[in-house]
Each structure stands twice: as structure tokens, then as C-alpha cells.
Homo-oligomer: A and B are copies of this chain.
Amino acid sequence: MTKVCILRLGHRPFRDKRVTTHVGLAARAFGADGMYLAASDPGIVESLRDVAVRWGGEFFIEDGISWKRCVREWKKKGGTVVHLTMYGLPLKEVIGEIREKEEILVVAGAEKVPGEIYGLADYNISVTSQPHSEVSGVAVFLDHLFEGKELDRTYPDAELQIVPSRDGKRTVP
């Protein structure tokens, strides 16, 4: 299966705490392998690691990452860099081509991203050409990449699992 990691840019520790946490949770839930955070924020690292332990799987999170080094190293080892931006090419036009790649780094910015990323990325891709959110951008990108198969994923090593229910909350064990 394709290896996919998220690189979260432009995180400002206080202001973006919840949105970046949501980006990480969505990345994990929709099938990414992990997230690099181009800022230091031990609180986010702890809360995402805690989710990964309780809910299972191998999702990793690393903070204090230099975004430029991360992008360069990813490309040097032959990986593909996809920058999500509302200015990019429509998702549906390029997702088939991207689906053939083996290692994908998905760059998800905040309101401002360094202009250089447009040139460094292999693909600049728009998930709609409208303003919305890095959380929905990452989720919908991954859902199209994996063609919805990630929605059925289960985590056998989870401490806690949900039993889908018509009208209540059921978990095991």
C-alpha cells in the first residue's frame, strides 16, 4: 500500500493548536502513516500519540521538523510531494496519476505558506478551488487517494473499538 505522510506547515503553537490536532486526527483516520509538524508543540504530539495508542495503528507524529529539509529529503529518496492549495490543479484531474506513486508527502499549510513550496512540490493540488480548511483538504484528498477503502479500516491492536450502532454508543471491550 502507498505510504503517505503529512507535513503540516505554518502551525502557530497557541492559535492553531486545535486545527493542527484535527489535521493529525484526520490524517490518521483517513489512512496516512504519520505527520511531520514544522513547529515545536509537545502538547499536540502527546495528544496524537495518546489517540494512536488507545485507538490502535502505527500513526506517528514528529514535531520540530524543518519543512524544507523534510521536502528535500523526501524528494531525494524518490518520493512525491503533493502540496494542497486552493490555487492548484483540480484533485480529480491528477489523483489517478498520484495513486500510482509509492511514497507521498502531503503538504498542508495554514493561512500563509512560504511561496517556495509551490516550486518545490511535484504537484500543487486543489480540493475545490474554494477556501475551506486544511482538515477537510487532507481528509478528502486521502479519501480520494484510497478510493474510500480507508473508511472500512479496523485497528485490531486498539484498546478501544466502536461497534457501529443505529442509535447509541457501543464500544468494546
Cβ–Cβ contact B144 & A148, under 8 A: yes
Contact with B along A125-163 (1 / 0, CB 8 A): 011111111011011100110001011110100000110
Interface residue tally of chain A, by bracket? Answer: 35 or more
Partner of A136, one of B30, B87, B119, B144: B30
What distance in Å separates the Cβ of A161 from its nearest Cβ neighbour in chain B?
7
The A contact surface, by secondary structure, is mixed
Count of chain copies: 2
Contacts of A28 in B (CB 8 A): 130, 132
Q: Does A74 reach chain B (CB closer than 8 Å)?
A: no
Q: How far is the CA of A28 from the CA of B14 in the complex (A)?
A: 27
Contacts of A18 in B (CB 8 A): 15-16, 18-19
Cβ–Cβ contact A29 & B130, under 8 A: yes
Contacts of A19 in B (CB 8 A): 18-19, 22
Q: How far is the CA of A58 from the CA of B119 in the complex (A)?
A: 35
Q: Does A166 reach chain B (CB closer than 8 Å)?
A: yes
Whose C-beta in chain B lies nearest to the C-beta of A93?
A: B164
Q: Does A98 reach chain B (CB closer than 8 Å)?
A: no
A-B CB contact pairs (8 Å), 18 listed: A18-B18, A22-B135, A22-B136, A25-B130, A25-B133, A26-B135, A28-B130, A29-B132, A29-B136, A30-B132, A88-B165, A88-B166, A124-B165, A129-B162, A135-B139, A136-B138, A139-B140, A143-B143
